[in-house]
Amino acid sequence: MGLKRRVFSKEFKFAAVQRLEQGVSIGEVARALEVKASVLHRWRREFRQGPKNAFPGVGKRRWGEGRIAELERKVGQQALEIDFLKECLQRIEEERMLQALHGNPRSTGKWQKQAKPTGD
């Protein structure tokens, strides 16, 4: 049976980082709190990147928030593309209607017979 991962509260992490910021060595804090030094380094880095946003939750929530933001950006980009393509389609339909009204059908893209140049 494997060991269960320990979960630390936001307050615990803040207290650990405060001790580090007060000049206590990483090794001392790690031994006192029974936490690996690498974990303390990560907590301190997160805290320095943004104290108000540090330690937002437990587990993989942060990954989920990042993934949600990525997907929201993707949806926004796709919405812009859809709007652009709808406009293009609308213009094409309007052009077809105008050409049909004027009896001037548009080329189907096939080669049309062109008048051969006369030889001089």
pLDDT tens, residue by residue, 33-66: 999 999 999 999 988 888 777 887 655 555 566 7
pLDDT at 5: 78
CA distances from 71 to 23, 66, 87, 109 (A): 41, 9, 24, 39
CA distances from 41 to 48, 99, 104 (A): 11, 70, 74
pLDDT tens, residue by residue, 58-101: 555 555 667 788 888 999 999 999 999 999 999 999 999 999 88
DSSP 51: T
Positive or negative, the Cα torsion across 73, 77, 78, 83? positive
For residues 30 and 104, which has the higher predicted lDDT (pLDDT)?
Answer: 30
pLDDT tens, residue by residue, 95-105: 999 998 888 66
User: pTM for the complete prediction?
Assistant: 0.45
DSSP helix/strand/coil, 58 = coil
